[in-house]
Amino acid sequence: MALNATGRASQPGGLSHAKPRVLFGVTGGIAAYKAVTAVRRLRQWGADVTVVPTRSALQMVGKTTWEAISGNQVRVEVWEDAADVVHVNTGASADLFVVAPATANTIAKFAHGLADNLLTNSALVATCPRLIAPAMHTQMWEHPATVANIELLTKHGWELIGPEVGQLTGADSGAGRMSEPEVIADRAIEILETQGYRSQYVGEPTGKTWVISAGGTHEAIDPVRYIANHSTGIMGVELANAALRAGHRVKLVGANISEQVRDTCLSGIEFVNVVSASDVYEQMDRLAASADVVIMAAAISDFRVASSATKIKRGRGLDLTFEENPDILHDLATNRRKNAQCVVGFAAETGDETHTYLEYGQQKAQRKGADLLVVNQVGNSAGFGDVDTTVSVVTGAGEIIKEYSGTKSQVATGIVSVIDQWCTNA
Ligand code: CTP
Protein backbone atom coordinates (compact mmCIF):
# COMPACT_ATOMS: atom_id res chain seq x y z
CA MET A 1 0.00 0.00 0.00
CA ALA A 2 1.44 3.35 -1.03
CA LEU A 3 1.30 5.95 1.71
CA ASN A 4 2.81 9.37 1.89
CA ALA A 5 4.77 10.63 4.87
CA THR A 6 1.61 11.63 6.72
CA GLY A 7 -0.02 8.24 6.49
CA ARG A 8 -2.59 9.50 4.00
CA ALA A 9 -3.46 7.33 1.06
CA SER A 10 -1.46 8.37 -1.97
CA GLN A 11 -3.35 6.49 -4.67
CA PRO A 12 -6.90 5.40 -5.33
CA GLY A 13 -7.60 1.98 -3.92
CA GLY A 14 -4.49 2.13 -1.72
CA LEU A 15 -6.14 3.53 1.36
CA SER A 16 -4.57 3.43 4.79
CA HIS A 17 -7.89 4.02 6.51
CA ALA A 18 -11.46 3.25 5.50
CA LYS A 19 -12.89 6.50 6.86
CA PRO A 20 -11.49 9.56 5.11
CA ARG A 21 -10.40 12.41 7.37
CA VAL A 22 -11.98 15.72 6.56
CA LEU A 23 -10.71 18.90 8.13
CA PHE A 24 -13.70 21.23 8.09
CA GLY A 25 -12.77 24.87 8.66
CA VAL A 26 -15.48 27.30 9.70
CA THR A 27 -14.97 31.06 9.82
CA GLY A 28 -17.03 33.93 11.22
CA GLY A 29 -19.85 34.30 8.72
CA ILE A 30 -23.54 33.92 9.49
CA ALA A 31 -23.60 30.95 7.09
CA ALA A 32 -21.69 29.02 9.78
CA TYR A 33 -25.05 27.72 10.97
CA LYS A 34 -25.58 26.13 7.54
CA ALA A 35 -22.17 24.46 7.70
CA VAL A 36 -23.61 22.25 10.45
CA THR A 37 -25.69 20.55 7.73
CA ALA A 38 -22.62 19.96 5.55
CA VAL A 39 -20.68 18.46 8.49
CA ARG A 40 -23.61 16.23 9.36
CA ARG A 41 -23.95 15.04 5.76
CA LEU A 42 -20.24 14.23 5.47
CA ARG A 43 -20.34 12.33 8.73
CA GLN A 44 -23.43 10.37 7.70
CA TRP A 45 -21.65 9.45 4.47
CA GLY A 46 -18.86 8.03 6.56
CA ALA A 47 -16.17 10.69 6.83
CA ASP A 48 -14.23 11.32 10.02
CA VAL A 49 -14.77 15.08 10.30
CA THR A 50 -12.68 17.38 12.46
CA VAL A 51 -14.12 20.88 12.68
CA VAL A 52 -11.63 23.71 13.08
CA PRO A 53 -13.51 26.95 13.70
CA THR A 54 -11.95 30.37 14.05
CA ARG A 55 -12.67 32.37 17.19
CA SER A 56 -15.14 34.49 15.18
CA ALA A 57 -16.93 31.35 13.94
CA LEU A 58 -17.65 30.47 17.57
CA GLN A 59 -19.60 33.73 17.82
CA MET A 60 -22.01 32.20 15.30
CA VAL A 61 -22.10 28.55 16.34
CA GLY A 62 -20.57 27.31 19.60
CA LYS A 63 -17.91 24.68 20.20
CA THR A 64 -20.41 22.29 21.80
CA THR A 65 -22.47 22.13 18.60
CA TRP A 66 -19.39 21.40 16.47
CA GLU A 67 -18.21 18.68 18.85
CA ALA A 68 -21.65 17.07 19.03
CA ILE A 69 -22.24 17.19 15.30
CA SER A 70 -18.75 15.98 14.27
CA GLY A 71 -18.19 13.54 17.13
CA ASN A 72 -14.64 14.88 17.45
CA GLN A 73 -12.81 17.27 19.74
CA VAL A 74 -12.75 20.86 18.51
CA ARG A 75 -9.69 23.08 18.81
CA VAL A 76 -9.28 26.67 17.74
CA GLU A 77 -5.76 27.71 18.70
CA VAL A 78 -2.40 26.09 18.10
CA TRP A 79 -1.45 25.98 21.76
CA GLU A 80 -4.35 23.70 22.70
CA ASP A 81 -2.96 20.17 23.25
CA ALA A 82 0.47 21.36 22.08
CA ALA A 83 2.00 17.96 22.89
CA ASP A 84 0.03 16.55 19.93
CA VAL A 85 1.60 19.14 17.59
CA VAL A 86 -1.91 19.96 16.42
CA HIS A 87 -0.83 22.87 14.23
CA VAL A 88 0.95 20.40 11.97
CA ASN A 89 -0.96 17.15 12.46
CA THR A 90 -4.47 18.49 11.94
CA GLY A 91 -3.72 19.66 8.41
CA ALA A 92 -1.17 17.01 7.51
CA SER A 93 -3.38 14.02 8.24
CA ALA A 94 -6.42 15.34 6.34
CA ASP A 95 -7.60 13.68 3.12
CA LEU A 96 -9.70 16.73 2.31
CA PHE A 97 -9.73 20.30 3.61
CA VAL A 98 -13.05 22.14 3.36
CA VAL A 99 -13.63 25.73 4.48
CA ALA A 100 -17.26 26.85 4.66
CA PRO A 101 -18.10 29.61 5.13
CA ALA A 102 -14.85 31.40 4.28
CA THR A 103 -14.81 35.10 5.15
CA ALA A 104 -12.84 37.75 3.26
CA ASN A 105 -10.50 37.94 6.27
CA THR A 106 -9.58 34.23 6.31
CA ILE A 107 -9.34 34.17 2.51
CA ALA A 108 -6.80 37.02 2.75
CA LYS A 109 -4.83 35.12 5.39
CA PHE A 110 -4.80 31.92 3.30
CA ALA A 111 -3.75 33.87 0.21
CA HIS A 112 -0.79 35.48 1.97
CA GLY A 113 0.27 32.61 4.17
CA LEU A 114 -0.63 34.18 7.52
CA ALA A 115 -0.95 31.67 10.32
CA ASP A 116 -2.49 33.07 13.49
CA ASN A 117 -4.86 30.29 14.51
CA LEU A 118 -5.21 26.53 14.05
CA LEU A 119 -7.17 26.85 10.80
CA THR A 120 -4.67 29.13 9.05
CA ASN A 121 -1.74 27.04 10.36
CA SER A 122 -3.41 23.90 8.99
CA ALA A 123 -3.83 25.56 5.60
CA LEU A 124 -0.06 25.96 5.35
CA VAL A 125 0.52 22.31 6.14
CA ALA A 126 -2.25 20.51 4.24
CA THR A 127 -1.26 18.91 0.94
CA CYS A 128 -4.65 17.26 0.32
CA PRO A 129 -7.35 18.65 -2.01
CA ARG A 130 -8.77 21.91 -0.62
CA LEU A 131 -12.28 23.22 -1.19
CA ILE A 132 -13.32 26.71 -0.17
CA ALA A 133 -16.84 28.20 -0.04
CA PRO A 134 -16.67 31.99 0.34
CA ALA A 135 -19.51 33.89 2.00
CA MET A 136 -19.58 37.67 2.38
CA HIS A 137 -21.37 40.81 1.29
CA THR A 138 -21.23 41.69 -2.39
CA GLN A 139 -19.04 44.77 -1.84
CA MET A 140 -16.45 42.65 0.00
CA TRP A 141 -16.62 39.88 -2.62
CA GLU A 142 -16.16 42.32 -5.47
CA HIS A 143 -13.43 44.39 -3.76
CA PRO A 144 -10.17 44.24 -5.77
CA ALA A 145 -8.33 42.94 -2.69
CA THR A 146 -10.67 39.93 -2.41
CA VAL A 147 -10.63 39.38 -6.17
CA ALA A 148 -6.80 39.29 -6.08
CA ASN A 149 -6.79 37.00 -3.02
CA ILE A 150 -9.18 34.56 -4.67
CA GLU A 151 -6.92 34.51 -7.72
CA LEU A 152 -3.99 33.64 -5.46
CA LEU A 153 -5.94 30.85 -3.75
CA THR A 154 -6.87 29.34 -7.11
CA LYS A 155 -3.22 29.57 -8.13
CA HIS A 156 -2.26 27.78 -4.91
CA GLY A 157 -4.61 24.91 -5.81
CA TRP A 158 -7.71 25.73 -3.81
CA GLU A 159 -10.98 24.73 -5.48
CA LEU A 160 -13.62 27.41 -5.24
CA ILE A 161 -17.26 26.52 -4.69
CA GLY A 162 -19.67 29.45 -5.08
CA PRO A 163 -20.47 31.99 -3.91
CA GLU A 164 -23.96 32.23 -5.31
CA VAL A 165 -26.08 35.27 -6.03
CA GLY A 166 -28.91 35.44 -3.54
CA GLN A 167 -30.18 36.80 -0.28
CA LEU A 168 -27.44 37.88 2.13
CA THR A 169 -27.54 38.38 5.91
CA GLY A 170 -29.98 41.26 5.94
CA ALA A 171 -32.60 42.41 3.48
CA ASP A 172 -29.94 42.84 0.80
CA SER A 173 -29.09 40.35 -1.91
CA GLY A 174 -26.32 39.91 -4.48
CA ALA A 175 -23.18 37.87 -5.13
CA GLY A 176 -21.61 36.46 -1.96
CA ARG A 177 -24.15 33.98 -0.61
CA MET A 178 -22.50 30.71 0.43
CA SER A 179 -23.36 27.70 -1.75
CA GLU A 180 -25.95 25.47 -0.15
CA PRO A 181 -24.41 23.09 2.41
CA GLU A 182 -25.71 20.02 0.52
CA VAL A 183 -23.90 21.20 -2.62
CA ILE A 184 -20.67 21.71 -0.65
CA ALA A 185 -20.97 18.29 1.03
CA ASP A 186 -21.76 16.55 -2.28
CA ARG A 187 -18.71 18.09 -3.97
CA ALA A 188 -16.58 17.08 -0.97
CA ILE A 189 -17.90 13.51 -1.27
CA GLU A 190 -17.13 13.48 -5.00
CA ILE A 191 -13.52 14.45 -4.25
CA LEU A 192 -13.24 11.73 -1.59
CA GLU A 193 -14.68 9.16 -3.99
CA THR A 194 -12.07 10.03 -6.62
CA GLN A 195 -9.47 9.27 -3.94
CA GLY A 196 -10.98 5.78 -3.63
CA TYR A 197 -13.08 6.31 -0.50
CA ARG A 198 -16.57 4.85 -0.36
CA SER A 199 -19.59 5.67 1.71
CA GLN A 200 -19.71 3.75 4.98
CA TYR A 201 -23.43 4.36 5.19
CA VAL A 202 -25.44 1.21 5.75
CA GLY A 203 -29.15 1.46 5.05
CA GLU A 204 -32.07 0.19 7.08
CA PRO A 205 -31.83 -3.63 7.20
CA THR A 206 -34.04 -5.26 4.57
CA GLY A 207 -33.74 -8.74 6.07
CA LYS A 208 -32.54 -10.01 2.66
CA THR A 209 -29.32 -11.95 2.13
CA TRP A 210 -27.23 -11.43 -0.99
CA VAL A 211 -24.49 -13.88 -1.92
CA ILE A 212 -21.99 -12.61 -4.47
CA SER A 213 -19.00 -14.27 -6.11
CA ALA A 214 -16.14 -12.06 -7.31
CA GLY A 215 -12.57 -12.19 -8.59
CA GLY A 216 -10.96 -14.70 -10.92
CA THR A 217 -10.30 -18.38 -10.32
CA HIS A 218 -6.88 -20.04 -10.35
CA GLU A 219 -6.67 -23.58 -11.71
CA ALA A 220 -3.57 -25.43 -10.61
CA ILE A 221 -1.30 -26.99 -13.22
CA ASP A 222 1.12 -28.26 -10.61
CA PRO A 223 1.99 -27.11 -7.07
CA VAL A 224 3.64 -23.90 -8.36
CA ARG A 225 1.77 -22.96 -11.55
CA TYR A 226 -1.79 -22.09 -12.37
CA ILE A 227 -4.11 -20.78 -15.08
CA ALA A 228 -5.67 -17.42 -14.19
CA ASN A 229 -7.52 -14.51 -15.78
CA HIS A 230 -7.45 -10.71 -15.59
CA SER A 231 -10.34 -10.24 -13.16
CA THR A 232 -9.42 -8.05 -10.16
CA GLY A 233 -12.68 -8.50 -8.25
CA ILE A 234 -13.24 -4.72 -8.02
CA MET A 235 -16.70 -4.92 -9.62
CA GLY A 236 -17.81 -7.70 -7.26
CA VAL A 237 -16.52 -5.82 -4.21
CA GLU A 238 -18.33 -2.67 -5.35
CA LEU A 239 -21.52 -4.70 -5.81
CA ALA A 240 -21.12 -6.10 -2.30
CA ASN A 241 -20.60 -2.57 -0.93
CA ALA A 242 -23.63 -1.22 -2.82
CA ALA A 243 -25.80 -4.12 -1.63
CA LEU A 244 -24.70 -3.53 1.97
CA ARG A 245 -25.48 0.18 1.63
CA ALA A 246 -28.93 -0.79 0.36
CA GLY A 247 -29.42 -2.58 3.69
CA HIS A 248 -28.89 -6.20 2.62
CA ARG A 249 -26.85 -8.79 4.48
CA VAL A 250 -23.94 -9.58 2.16
CA LYS A 251 -21.70 -12.62 1.80
CA LEU A 252 -18.88 -12.31 -0.69
CA VAL A 253 -17.09 -15.34 -2.12
CA GLY A 254 -13.82 -13.85 -3.34
CA ALA A 255 -11.49 -15.70 -5.69
CA ASN A 256 -7.91 -14.47 -5.48
CA ILE A 257 -8.80 -10.86 -4.71
CA SER A 258 -5.75 -8.79 -3.77
CA GLU A 259 -5.49 -7.43 -0.25
CA GLN A 260 -5.64 -3.89 -1.63
CA VAL A 261 -9.01 -4.50 -3.30
CA ARG A 262 -10.31 -6.54 -0.39
CA ASP A 263 -9.50 -3.65 1.96
CA THR A 264 -12.12 -1.57 0.14
CA CYS A 265 -14.89 -3.92 1.35
CA LEU A 266 -17.14 -2.20 3.87
CA SER A 267 -17.09 -3.72 7.30
CA GLY A 268 -20.13 -5.91 7.70
CA ILE A 269 -19.51 -7.93 4.54
CA GLU A 270 -18.82 -11.60 5.29
CA PHE A 271 -15.85 -12.55 3.13
CA VAL A 272 -15.09 -16.14 2.10
CA ASN A 273 -11.72 -16.60 0.47
CA VAL A 274 -11.50 -19.14 -2.38
CA VAL A 275 -9.08 -20.10 -5.14
CA SER A 276 -10.46 -22.43 -7.82
CA ALA A 277 -13.73 -22.87 -9.72
CA SER A 278 -14.45 -25.95 -7.58
CA ASP A 279 -14.06 -23.81 -4.44
CA VAL A 280 -16.46 -21.18 -5.82
CA TYR A 281 -18.98 -23.90 -6.66
CA GLU A 282 -18.75 -25.45 -3.20
CA GLN A 283 -19.17 -22.12 -1.38
CA MET A 284 -21.90 -20.72 -3.65
CA ASP A 285 -23.82 -23.98 -3.43
CA ARG A 286 -23.61 -23.83 0.39
CA LEU A 287 -24.45 -20.12 0.77
CA ALA A 288 -27.17 -20.00 -1.91
CA ALA A 289 -29.36 -22.17 0.33
CA SER A 290 -30.11 -19.12 2.48
CA ALA A 291 -29.80 -16.37 -0.16
CA ASP A 292 -32.52 -14.15 -1.58
CA VAL A 293 -30.22 -12.90 -4.31
CA VAL A 294 -27.31 -14.81 -5.85
CA ILE A 295 -24.87 -12.97 -8.11
CA MET A 296 -22.13 -14.69 -10.09
CA ALA A 297 -19.71 -11.85 -10.81
CA ALA A 298 -16.58 -14.02 -10.62
CA ALA A 299 -14.63 -14.90 -13.75
CA ILE A 300 -14.70 -18.68 -13.62
CA SER A 301 -12.30 -20.80 -15.60
CA ASP A 302 -14.32 -23.11 -17.83
CA PHE A 303 -11.60 -25.72 -17.58
CA ARG A 304 -9.37 -27.13 -14.90
CA VAL A 305 -6.20 -29.06 -15.49
CA ALA A 306 -5.81 -32.67 -14.49
CA SER A 307 -2.96 -31.30 -12.41
CA SER A 308 0.28 -32.91 -11.42
CA ALA A 309 0.95 -33.47 -7.72
CA THR A 310 4.62 -32.73 -8.29
CA LYS A 311 6.34 -29.87 -10.10
CA ILE A 312 6.45 -30.41 -13.85
CA LYS A 313 10.07 -30.46 -15.01
CA ARG A 314 11.49 -28.96 -18.17
CA GLY A 315 12.80 -31.23 -20.94
CA ARG A 316 10.00 -33.79 -20.74
CA GLY A 317 7.51 -31.94 -22.95
CA LEU A 318 4.19 -30.66 -21.67
CA ASP A 319 0.95 -32.44 -22.24
CA LEU A 320 -1.89 -30.93 -20.21
CA THR A 321 -5.25 -32.62 -19.96
CA PHE A 322 -8.20 -30.29 -19.35
CA GLU A 323 -11.43 -31.20 -17.66
CA GLU A 324 -14.54 -29.03 -17.94
CA ASN A 325 -15.66 -27.15 -14.83
CA PRO A 326 -19.38 -27.05 -14.05
CA ASP A 327 -21.30 -24.00 -15.24
CA ILE A 328 -22.03 -22.73 -11.75
CA LEU A 329 -24.40 -19.94 -12.83
CA HIS A 330 -26.45 -22.28 -14.99
CA ASP A 331 -26.65 -24.79 -12.16
CA LEU A 332 -27.64 -22.18 -9.54
CA ALA A 333 -30.21 -20.66 -11.94
CA THR A 334 -31.84 -23.88 -13.06
CA ASN A 335 -31.86 -25.59 -9.62
CA ARG A 336 -32.77 -22.71 -7.30
CA ARG A 337 -31.56 -23.42 -3.79
CA LYS A 338 -34.32 -21.35 -2.19
CA ASN A 339 -37.84 -20.30 -3.17
CA ALA A 340 -38.33 -16.88 -4.81
CA GLN A 341 -34.58 -16.54 -5.23
CA CYS A 342 -33.19 -14.12 -7.79
CA VAL A 343 -30.12 -15.26 -9.74
CA VAL A 344 -27.95 -12.79 -11.62
CA GLY A 345 -24.98 -13.45 -13.89
CA PHE A 346 -22.31 -11.37 -15.56
CA ALA A 347 -20.92 -11.65 -19.05
CA ALA A 348 -17.74 -10.04 -20.24
CA GLU A 349 -17.87 -10.12 -24.02
CA THR A 350 -15.61 -8.87 -26.79
CA GLY A 351 -17.85 -9.28 -29.83
CA ASP A 352 -16.45 -10.38 -33.21
CA GLU A 353 -17.11 -9.98 -36.95
CA THR A 354 -20.41 -11.92 -36.70
CA HIS A 355 -21.96 -10.53 -33.49
CA THR A 356 -21.63 -7.49 -31.25
CA TYR A 357 -20.67 -7.99 -27.61
CA LEU A 358 -24.26 -7.16 -26.69
CA GLU A 359 -25.73 -9.77 -29.04
CA TYR A 360 -23.48 -12.38 -27.47
CA GLY A 361 -24.66 -11.18 -24.04
CA GLN A 362 -28.31 -11.48 -25.04
CA GLN A 363 -27.76 -15.02 -26.31
CA LYS A 364 -25.95 -15.91 -23.11
CA ALA A 365 -28.79 -14.50 -20.99
CA GLN A 366 -31.23 -16.85 -22.70
CA ARG A 367 -28.88 -19.82 -22.28
CA LYS A 368 -27.99 -19.38 -18.62
CA GLY A 369 -31.49 -19.40 -17.09
CA ALA A 370 -30.68 -16.45 -14.80
CA ASP A 371 -33.20 -13.69 -14.07
CA LEU A 372 -30.76 -10.99 -15.16
CA LEU A 373 -27.40 -10.89 -16.90
CA VAL A 374 -25.08 -7.87 -16.68
CA VAL A 375 -23.17 -7.56 -19.94
CA ASN A 376 -20.03 -5.51 -20.37
CA GLN A 377 -17.52 -5.12 -23.12
CA VAL A 378 -13.95 -6.14 -22.49
CA GLY A 379 -10.86 -5.84 -24.62
CA ASN A 380 -7.19 -6.58 -24.15
CA SER A 381 -7.22 -4.38 -21.09
CA ALA A 382 -10.63 -2.61 -21.26
CA GLY A 383 -13.01 -3.52 -18.49
CA PHE A 384 -10.41 -4.85 -16.04
CA GLY A 385 -9.20 -3.06 -12.93
CA ASP A 386 -9.96 0.38 -11.52
CA VAL A 387 -11.46 1.86 -14.71
CA ASP A 388 -14.79 3.30 -15.77
CA THR A 389 -17.19 0.84 -17.29
CA THR A 390 -20.44 0.60 -19.25
CA VAL A 391 -22.86 -2.26 -18.74
CA SER A 392 -26.23 -3.34 -20.10
CA VAL A 393 -28.62 -5.27 -17.89
CA VAL A 394 -30.41 -7.96 -19.89
CA THR A 395 -33.34 -10.12 -18.77
CA GLY A 396 -33.34 -13.91 -19.05
CA ALA A 397 -35.36 -13.44 -22.24
CA GLY A 398 -32.63 -11.25 -23.74
CA GLU A 399 -34.39 -7.90 -23.37
CA ILE A 400 -32.18 -4.93 -22.42
CA ILE A 401 -33.78 -3.14 -19.47
CA LYS A 402 -31.05 -0.76 -18.21
CA GLU A 403 -27.67 0.66 -19.12
CA TYR A 404 -25.17 2.19 -16.73
CA SER A 405 -21.88 4.01 -17.27
CA GLY A 406 -19.38 5.44 -14.82
CA THR A 407 -17.01 4.28 -12.13
CA LYS A 408 -17.45 0.68 -10.98
CA SER A 409 -18.88 2.01 -7.71
CA GLN A 410 -21.52 4.09 -9.56
CA VAL A 411 -22.37 1.25 -11.92
CA ALA A 412 -22.61 -1.20 -8.99
CA THR A 413 -25.10 1.08 -7.24
CA GLY A 414 -27.22 1.08 -10.40
CA ILE A 415 -27.04 -2.69 -10.78
CA VAL A 416 -28.07 -3.21 -7.14
CA SER A 417 -31.09 -0.93 -7.60
CA VAL A 418 -32.22 -2.68 -10.79
CA ILE A 419 -31.86 -6.09 -9.10
CA ASP A 420 -33.85 -4.80 -6.12
CA GLN A 421 -36.66 -3.60 -8.43
CA TRP A 422 -36.65 -6.53 -10.84
CA CYS A 423 -36.49 -9.21 -8.20
CA THR A 424 -39.26 -7.65 -6.12
CA ASN A 425 -41.52 -7.37 -9.17
CA ALA A 426 -40.63 -10.76 -10.66
N1 CTP B 1 -19.86 -18.87 -15.01
C2 CTP B 1 -20.07 -19.91 -14.13
N3 CTP B 1 -19.38 -21.07 -14.28
C4 CTP B 1 -18.52 -21.22 -15.31
C5 CTP B 1 -18.32 -20.17 -16.22
C6 CTP B 1 -19.00 -19.00 -16.04
O7 CTP B 1 -20.86 -19.77 -13.22
N8 CTP B 1 -17.86 -22.38 -15.44
C9 CTP B 1 -20.64 -17.64 -14.84
C10 CTP B 1 -19.84 -16.38 -14.61
O11 CTP B 1 -19.63 -16.13 -13.24
C12 CTP B 1 -20.75 -15.33 -15.22
C13 CTP B 1 -21.45 -16.05 -16.34
O14 CTP B 1 -21.36 -17.43 -16.04
O15 CTP B 1 -21.74 -14.90 -14.32
C16 CTP B 1 -20.88 -15.82 -17.71
O17 CTP B 1 -19.52 -16.14 -17.71
P18 CTP B 1 -18.76 -16.35 -19.10
O19 CTP B 1 -17.37 -16.78 -18.83
O20 CTP B 1 -19.00 -15.12 -19.90
O21 CTP B 1 -19.67 -17.51 -19.68
P22 CTP B 1 -19.38 -18.88 -20.32
O23 CTP B 1 -20.58 -19.71 -20.08
O24 CTP B 1 -18.08 -19.43 -19.87
O25 CTP B 1 -19.39 -18.53 -21.85
P26 CTP B 1 -18.19 -18.35 -22.93
O27 CTP B 1 -18.39 -19.49 -23.86
O28 CTP B 1 -18.47 -17.02 -23.56
O29 CTP B 1 -16.91 -18.40 -22.15
Domains in the chain: how many in total? Answer: 2
Res 167: pLDDT: 84
Can you give the pLDDT at residue 138? 96
For the stretch 297-312, pLDDT in tens is 999 999 999 977 899 9
> What span, in angstroms and rounded, lies between the C-alpha atoms of 89 and 74?
14
Same domain membership, residue 233 and residue 85: no
Q: Which of 213, 276, 296, 343 to mutate to test the pocket of ligand 1 (most atoms within 8 A of CB)?
A: 296
346 lines ligand 1 (CB under 6 A): yes
Is 311 annotated as belonging to a binding site? yes
Q: Which of 300, 303, 374, 378 best tests ligand 1's pocket when mutated (most atoms within 8 Å of CB)?
A: 300
- The tens digit of pLDDT for each residue in 2-17 reads 333 344 443 344 566 7
For the chain, the three-class secondary structure string (H helix, E strand, C coil) is CCECCCCCECCCCCCCCCCCEEEEEECCCCCHHHHHHHHHHHHHHCCEEEEEECCCHHHHCCHHHHHHHHCCCCCCCCCCCHHHCHHHHHHHCCCEEEEEEECHHHHHHHHHCCCCCHHHHHHHHCCCCEEEEECCCHHHHHCHHHHHHHHHHHHCCEEECCCEEEECCCCCEEEEECCCHHHHHHHHHHHHHHCCCCCCCCCCCCCCEEEEEEEECCEEEECCEEECCCCCCHHHHHHHHHHHHCCCEEEEEEECCCHHHHCCCCCCCEEEEECCHHHHHHHHHHHHCCCCEEEECCECCCEEECCCCCCCCCCCCCCCCEEECCCHHHHHHHCCCCCCCEEEEEEEECCCCCCCHHHHHHHHHHHHCCCEEEEEECCCCCCCCCCCEEEEEEECCCCEEEEEEECHHHHHHHHHHHHHHHHHHC
| Position 135 in a domain | yes
- HSE on the CB side for 106, CA within 13 Å? 30
Report if residue 38 sits inside a domain. Answer: yes
The answer to whether residues 48 and 101 belong to one domain is: yes
Is residue 219 domain-shared with residue 167, that is, in the same domain?
Answer: no
Assess whether pLDDT exceeds 50 at residue 27. Answer: yes
Q: Whose CA is nearest to atom 20 of ligand 1?
A: 347
As a whole number, mean pLDDT of residues 272-299 equals: 98
284 C-beta closer than 6 A to ligand 1: no
Query: Pick from 142, 167, 194: which residue ends a domain?
Result: 194
Ligand 1 pocket member 329 (CB < 6 A) = yes
CA 319 – ligand 1 centroid, Å: 25
> Which band of pLDDT confidence, cut at 50, 70 and 90, is reported for residue 384?
low
Helix axes 408-425, 234-245, angle to 10 degrees: 60
**CATH code where residue 33 lies:** 3.40.50.1950
Task: Give the mean model confidence (pLDDT) for residues 39-49.
Answer: 93
Mutation to probe ligand 1, out of 239, 329, 393 (largest number of atoms < 8 A from CB): 329
* pLDDT reading at 185 higher than 90: yes
pLDDT tens digits for 242-252?
999 999 999 99
> Looking at the domain assignment, is residue 8 inside a domain?
no
- Within-domain flag for 11: no
Tell me whether residue 331 is in a domain.
Answer: yes
Residues 231 and 364 in one domain: yes
Whether residue 265 lies inside any domain: the answer is yes
Domain of 229?
Answer: 209-425
pLDDT of residue 5: 39
Among 194, 226, 256, identify where a domain stops: 194
Q: How confident is the model at residue 54 (pLDDT cuts 50, 70, 90)?
A: very high
Residue 92 scores a pLDDT above 50? yes
81 labeled binding residue? no
Q: Kindly state if the Cβ of 345 falls inside 6 Å of ligand 1.
A: yes
- Residue 130 and residue 260 in one domain: no
pLDDT for res 79: 85
368 within some domain: yes
**One domain for residues 263 and 352:** yes
pLDDT at 385: 64
Mean pLDDT of the chain: 91
Residue 421 and residue 296 share a domain: yes
Q: Is the CB of 84 under 6 A from ligand 1?
A: no
Q: What CATH number corresponds to the domain at position 241?
A: 3.40.50.10300
Kindly state whether residues 291 and 168 are assigned to the same domain. no
Q: Could you tell me if 195 and 95 are in contact, meaning their C-beta atoms sit under 8 angstroms apart?
A: yes
Which residue has the CA at smallest separation from atom 17 of ligand 1?
Answer: 347
The residue among 166, 194, 222 that closes a domain is 194
Query: What's the pLDDT score for residue 321?
Result: 92
Distance (angstroms) between ligand 1 centre and the Cα of 381 equals 19
Per-residue pLDDT averaged across 316-332, rounded? 94
Would you name the residues annotated as active-site residues?
229
Q: How confident is the model at residue 426 (pLDDT cuts 50, 70, 90)?
A: low
Q: What is the pLDDT of residues 261-272, one digit of tens each?
A: 998 888 889 999
Give the model's pLDDT for residue 380.
Answer: 52
The answer to whether residue 147 sits within a structural domain is yes
Annotated binding residue 368: yes
pLDDT of residue 8: 45
Do residues 134 and 158 share a domain?
Answer: yes
Ligand 1 atom closest to Cα of residue 344: 15
Indicate if 258 and 342 belong to the same structural domain: yes
Say whether 302 counts as a known binding-site residue. Answer: yes
How much distance in Å is there from the Cα of 250 to the middle of ligand 1? 22
Asked if residue 352 has its Cβ within 6 Å of ligand 1, the reply is no
Residues 171 and 268 in one domain: no
Specify whether 324 is located in the same domain as 383. yes
Mean pLDDT of 217-237: 95
